[in-house]
Amino acid sequence: MRSRLRSAGLLDIADKLDAGIRLSLEDGVRLFEAGDFLLVGWLANRESEKRNGGRTFYNYNSRIEATNVCVASCLFCSFARLKPGDADAYTMSLDEAWDKLRSRAAQPLTEIHVVNGLHPDLPFSYYTDLLTGFKRIRPNIHLKCFTAVEIAFFADLYQMTDEQVLRELMAAGLDSLPGGGAEIFAERVRQKICHDKCGADRYLDIHRIAHRLGMRSNVTMLYGHIETAEERVDHMLRARTLQDETGGFQAFIPLAFHPDNNQMRKLPAPSAADTLRVHAVARLVLDNVPHIKAFWIATGVEVAQTALWFGADDLDGTVQEEKIYHMAGSRTPEAMTTREIERLIRAAGREPVERDTLYNVVAHAV
């Protein structure tokens, strides 16, 4: 193996990993440029197994996207509709959103994941009532809701600080933040693809505050559009720096760009090889983040399964209702049963472990 690492130009990186020395920006870029991407995967798999053995985590969750009305104009987005009256624009009444959860009363769900558009006309009470209602229906459900971009939008719209918004949502039942909205932290890219939503520093600061208030969160990276390898690694390093400070990130989630029905539709989707490599480099660079998630809706089921040997140890979950990726061309199913998830994990030679949002193992009575 050492001679293969040497001829791939990766021996010094392997030695650093063995010695517990952190990878630099330049190391990360070299991992993206190395020809032998199976070797990059092998290195990432070693790191993954050190942390998680052969275990692959998933959860029993469901999504609710309560509105797609959004004032932001992100070029990659196929989900948002700018005005409430636009064709396909929708906003669920609170009862419609709660009914989604009521209709799943027979399912042993542990998590509801809510991401919405940035709706200009709803009162703040819509969001607090949404959460209180979910908890009334299922007191033990974990509510992972609203990206940092939504939190920033609420603060500006309802004239509160980011911390006040987080505190009020927590008082209404919010348990953690999902990682969406991170895109690519580099200003050059943000200016081009999502110039009118909260910037990288504020995104990270909202996660910093959330962690200080006792919540956990995830961090995503939207890749495969106009970003460079250096900007990918810079993104990972910014997440790593905040993680050194707070320890509050649970998972890093690479999100493959889907080009259908959006303003970047001329770009090709990232290849399977690129997707596998991004998960691997994330595992190698983000030495302090416990989990790398291959979100099967974004990668495709087969690539997610393969990513379990390229540094990923988590598949997200059953999902059940998904619009953001399906409106952008994802051809995966919108849901998988726990049996299907377990089968595909076992078929990849890994051990499935059902977790809750905080990575506690879930054991069902038999």
Distance CA(157)–CA(124), nearest Å, equals 9
SS (H, E, C) 89-156: CCECCHHHHHHHHHCCCCCCCCEEEECCCCCCCCCHHHHHHHHHHHHHHCCCCEEEECCHHHHHHHHH
Q: Any contact of residue 239 with ligand V47 (CB under 6 A)?
A: no
What is the CA 32 to chain-centroid distance, rounded? 21
Single residue of 172, 204, 328, 336 touching ligand V47 by CB under 6 A: 328
Q: Any contact of residue 253 with ligand V47 (CB under 6 A)?
A: yes
Q: What's the min distance (Å) between Cβ of 283 and ligand V47?
A: 17
Question: Maximum Cα–Cα distance for the chain, whole Å?
Answer: 63
Contact 364, 353 (CB under 8 A): no
Q: Which residue is nearest to ligand V47 (CB)?
A: 180
351-354 and 55-59 strand pairing? parallel
Which residue from 243, 242, 314, 276 is spatially nearest to 32, judged by alpha carbons? 276
Residue listed under structure tokens 């320890």: 247
Q: Any contact of residue 116 with ligand V47 (CB under 6 A)?
A: no
**What are the beta bridge partners of residue 102?**
none
Q: Any contact of residue 318 with ligand V47 (CB under 6 A)?
A: no
Single residue of 117, 173, 180, 248 touching ligand V47 by CB under 6 A: 180
Q: What's the min distance (Å) between Cβ of 74 and ligand V47?
A: 7
Single residue of 57, 257, 309, 310 touching ligand V47 by CB under 6 A: 257
Q: What's the min distance (Å) between Cβ of 127 and ligand V47?
A: 17
Select the span of 50-58, 85-93, 172-180, 344-352 touching ligand V47 (CB under 6 A).
172-180
Residue with Cβ nearer ligand V47 (42 or 185): 185
Q: Any contact of residue 179 with ligand V47 (CB under 6 A)?
A: yes
Select the span of 70-78, 92-100, 231-239, 281-289 touching ligand V47 (CB under 6 A).
70-78
Distance CA(45)–CA(42), nearest Å, equals 5
Distance CA(193)–CA(226), nearest Å, equals 9
Select the span of 133-141, 167-175, 217-225, 270-278 touching ligand V47 (CB under 6 A).
217-225
Select the span of 7-15, 44-52, 178-186, 304-312 touching ligand V47 (CB under 6 A).
178-186
Select the span of 65-73, 123-131, 163-171, 251-259 touching ligand V47 (CB under 6 A).
251-259
Q: Any contact of residue 258 with ligand V47 (CB under 6 A)?
A: yes
How distant, in Å, are the alpha carbons of 81, 196, 326, 359 from that of 334?
Answer: 21, 30, 8, 23
Contact 221, 267 (CB under 8 A): no
Residue numbers at the binding site for ligand V47 (CB under 6 A): 76-78, 115, 147, 178-181, 183, 218, 220, 222, 253, 255, 257-258, 262, 295, 316, 324, 328
